[in-house]
Amino acid sequence: MHDIATSPAGAAIDAVPTDVVTAHEITRVYGEGDTSVRALRGVTLDVERGKLTAVMGPSGSGKSTLMHILAALDRPTSGFVTVAGARLGQLSDTDVTKLRRKHIGFVFQFFNLLPMLTAEENILLPLSLAGLDVDGGWFEDLLRRVGLEDRRTHRPAELSGGQQQRVAIARALVTRPTVVFADEPTGNLDLRTGGEILELLRSSVQDYGQTLVVVTHDARVAAIADRILFLADGLIVKDLGRSTPHEVMEAMEAITPQ
Partner 1 sequence: MRKVALRGLAGRKLRALLTALAIVLGVAMVSGTFVLTDTIDRAFNTIFERSYAGTDAVVRAGGSDIAYQGLTAELPGIPAELLEQVRAVPSVEVATGLVMDETSAKILDRKGKAVDTQGAPAFGFGVDPSPELSRFNPLNLVEGRWPTGGTEVVIDAGTADEQRFALGERVKVASLGPVREFEVVGIAQYSGVSSLGTATFAVFDVRTAQELFGREDEFDAISVAAKQGVDDEALVADLEEALPPTVAVQTGDERADEERGEVAEFTTFIRYFLLAFGGIALFVGAFVIFNTLSITVAQRTREFATLRTIGASRRQVLGSVVLEALVIGVLASVTGLLLGVALAYFLNWLFRVLGLDLPTTAMVFAPRTAVVALLVGVVVTLVAGLFPAVRATRVPAIAAVREGATLPGSRFARFTPYVAVALIAGAVSLLAFAMFADDLDTEPRLLSIAGGTLGLFLGVGLLSPKVVRPVAGLTHEPARWVVVVLQVVAYPVTLAFWLLRYAAFYADRPAGRRAGAAAWALAIVGAFSLLVALLGGGPVLALVPLVVPLTVIGMAVAARVSSFTPEWPLDFPDVRPAGATARVGRENARRAPGRTAATAAALMIGLALVTFVATLADGMKASNRDAIESQVRADYVVTSQDGYAPFVAAAGEAAARAPGIELSTDVRSDLATLAGSDRYLTGIEPGRIAQAYRFQWLDGSDAVLSRLGADGAILDKDFAEDKELAVGDRFTAVVPSGQERQLVVRGIYEPPPFYPLLGNASIAKETFDELYDRPRNQFTFVNVPGEPTEAAKQRLAEAVAAFPDAKVQTREEWIAFQDADFNQFLTMLYVLLALSVIVSLFGMVNTLVLSVFERTRELGMMRAVGMTRRQARRMIRHESVITALIGAALGLPLGIFLAMLVTRALSQFDVQFRVPLPLLLVFTVIAVLAGIAAAVLPARRAARLRVLEALHYE
Q: Which residues bind partner 1 (CB under 8 A)?
A: 68, 71, 73-74, 92-94, 97-98, 100-102, 105-106, 108, 110, 112, 114-117, 125-126, 128-131, 171-172, 175
Rounded distance between C-alpha atoms, residue 104 and residue 70, angstroms: 10
In angstroms, give the least distance from the CB of 102 to partner 1. 8
Q: How far is the CB of 174 from partner 1 (least distance, A)?
A: 10
Which positions ≥6 away from 125 have C-beta within 8 Å?
A: 114, 117, 171
Q: In this structure, what is the dihedral angle of CA atoms 243, 245, 250, 253, given to the nearest 10 degrees?
A: 120
Whichever of 217 and 238 has its CB closer to partner 1, that residue is 217
Give the residues across from 126 on adjacent strands: none
Cβ closest to partner 1, residue 102 vs residue 151? 102
Beta strands in 97-207 (DSSP E): 104-107, 179-183
Amino acid letter, residue 165? Q
User: Helix, strand or coil for residue 23?
Assistant: strand
Q: Which H or E run includes 227?
A: strand 227-232
CA dist., res. 240 & res. 224, Å (int):
12
- The CB-of-154 to partner 1 minimum distance in angstroms stands at 15
Q: Which amino acid is at 258?
A: Q
Closest contact distance (angstroms) between CB of 45 and partner 1 is 20
Residue 128 C-beta: closest distance to partner 1, Å: 3
Please give the backbone phi and psi of residue 79, each rounded to the nearest 5 degrees, phi first. 85, 180
CB of 239 to partner 1, least distance (A): 26
CB nearer to partner 1: pick between 4 and 73:
73
Cα–Cα distance between 14 and 17 in angstroms, integer? 7
Closer to partner 1 by Cβ: residue 16 or 117: 117
Q: Toward partner 1, which CB reaches closer, 106 or 230? A: 106
Looking at the Cβ atoms of 64 and 243, the one nearer to partner 1 is 64
Decide whether 184 or 251 has the Cβ nearer to partner 1. Answer: 184
Q: Which residues pair with 238 in a beta bridge?
A: 230
Q: Cβ(180)–Cβ(102) under 8 Å?
A: no
Specify which residues 179 forms β-bridges with.
104
| Paired strand residues for 53 | 213, 227
* Nearest-approach distance from CB 125 to partner 1, in angstroms: 6
